[in-house]
Amino acid sequence: MTTVEKIGQQAKEAAHVVAQLSIQDRNQILLSMAEALREQKSAIMAANQTDLENATALSGPMRNRLTLDDATIEGIATSLAAVADLDDPLAGPYENWEHPSGFKIIKKTVPLGVVAMVYEARPNVTVDAAALTFKSGNAVILRGGKEAIHSNIALAQVLRSVLTDHQLNPNIIQLITDTTHDSVNELLHLRQYVDVLIPRGSGSFIDFVVTNATVPVIETGAGNTHIFVDEDADQDQAIEVIVNAKTQKPAVCNAAEKLLIHEKIAAEFLPKVASALIEAGVELRGDDQAVAIDGRLSLATPIDWDTEYNDLIMAIKVVTDIDAAIDWINAHTTHHSETILGKNPQHVADFMNRVDAAVVYQNVSSRFTDGFEFGFGAEIGISTQKLHARGPMGLPALTTIKYEVFGDGQTRH
């Protein structure tokens, strides 16, 4: 049996343990984990420093996502503690009804079982995933990227030590420390033990997981996110929203990557928004029409329109009308978050009804696509598919159902 298989077997065994814990026990352990992270922050930051020293190839925004400092660890611990305040996703009341022959059917909410997370250089996901899967009664297998391996090991050790301190099986939370492609490939086929796999990372990484996995996958995260500025948009408000959506945190999946501008306002609006974006440090690329209007833009290549930059880069296209904007977005979307800035009720309704994305906005920054911002308390990821879960996934997305039937000797005729 390989190491990854052994981890899968151990997770399956541990899943039965965590599923039986009371909500009081689960919450108390989460609070203990939050406190342990604060107590061990020096060791965590030392491990993170090793990762930062090795991560010479990462861009500035990606490096920021990797960094664990005092404020970041405090934020992670606070978020973990906040999970303890969320409602129990396994609690009733459950739907129930009686069959004509007299037996009772109860539709019960239960954990998924073993959840595997495969993700890149984001050590906060190690804690977020552990907290949410534990709260929902699941065991978790974590496989982070090589850039964050020392940070992930330190974080996982803290969480597992708390489980041990509470006389629980530490294998409720496990980290795969092999950062080779072999460990990912093996995990993608661990159907005997893994109930669902959730990848988080770049579009190409998620595509690889979805294409190659034989375990069930919830597709998440890739965000080739568009903003369309309609002809009647409040231009000052639009500039504020666009700059926020692009620059507030550029290396995340809900950051804006593409800007579409109605041709009737392009000559007036494009130079203004370009100035604001350039001042904020954004490199701008554009189609022929956009470049003709503002020579500060470099000419976009065909690959630009399908690229999730995760960086301070944005591509701008001029479109003829609302229909052209919708058609373009649906041809290039990753089904994450799409935005219209404008006031025309019919145009807004068309955009909302016809754009195929998990979240569609009017006059709001796409940076709000987030479980916490949506009132879910936290999220395990943002699903861009349509089965089981879509959009920001909170605790209920980590559960499934089973039917319990109680009778008195009924037989079917």
Percent of the chain predicted with pLDDT > 90 = 85
- What tens digit of pLDDT does each residue of 223-256 get? 899 999 999 999 999 999 999 999 999 988 899 9
Comparing 116-120, 219-223, 337-341, the range with the smallest average pLDDT is 219-223
Range 225-368: architecture per CATH: 3-Layer(aba) Sandwich (3.40)
DSSP string, 215-252: S-B--B----EEEEE-TT--HHHHHHHHHHHHHSSTTS
Res 135: pLDDT: 97
Res 389: pLDDT: 87
Res 17: pLDDT: 96
Res 263: pLDDT: 98
Res 52: pLDDT: 93
Q: For residue 378, what pLDDT band results from cuts at 50, 70 and 90?
A: confident
Q: Confirm if 399 and 90 have CB atoms less than 8 A apart.
A: yes
Averaged pLDDT, 90-107:
96
- What tens digit of pLDDT does each residue of 283-342 get? 999 999 999 999 999 999 999 999 999 899 999 999 999 999 999 999 999 999 999 999
Q: What are the residue boundaries of the structural domains of the chain, listed by start?
A: 3-219+385-406, 225-368
Burial 119-144 (b: 16+ CB within 10 A, else e): bbbbbbbbbbbbbbbbbbbbbbbbbb
Q: For residue 219, what pLDDT band results from cuts at 50, 70 and 90?
A: confident
289 or 201: which leads in pLDDT? 289
Q: What residues does 339 pair with on adjacent strands?
A: 227, 361
Q: Confirm if 170 and 33 have CB atoms less than 8 A apart.
A: no
Q: What mean pLDDT is reported for the chain?
A: 94
User: What is 3-219+385-406's CATH topology?
Assistant: Aldehyde Dehydrogenase; Chain A, domain 1 (3.40.605)
- What tens digit of pLDDT does each residue of 385-395 get? 888 889 989 89
Residue 267 reports pLDDT greater than 80: yes
Averaged pLDDT, 105-121:
95
Residue 221 reports pLDDT greater than 80: no
Cα 147–153–154 angle (5° rounding)? Answer: 110
- What tens digit of pLDDT does each residue of 6-39 get? 999 999 999 999 999 999 999 999 999 999 999 9
63 or 183: which leads in pLDDT? 183
Res 358: pLDDT: 93
Res 172: pLDDT: 98
Among candidate residues 229, 231, 194, the one with its CA nearest the CA of residue 214: 194
Res 7: pLDDT: 98
Q: For residue 59, what pLDDT band results from cuts at 50, 70 and 90?
A: confident
For the chain, how many helices (H) and strands (E)?
Answer: 14, 16
Q: For residue 379, what pLDDT band results from cuts at 50, 70 and 90?
A: confident
222 or 283: which leads in pLDDT? 283
- What tens digit of pLDDT does each residue of 120-178 get? 888 999 999 999 999 999 999 999 999 999 999 999 999 999 999 999 999 999 999 99
Cα dihedral angle (249, 254, 255, 256), rounded to 10 degrees? -170
Averaged pLDDT, 45-50:
96
Q: Report the C-alpha gap between 223 and 243 in whole angstroms.
A: 17
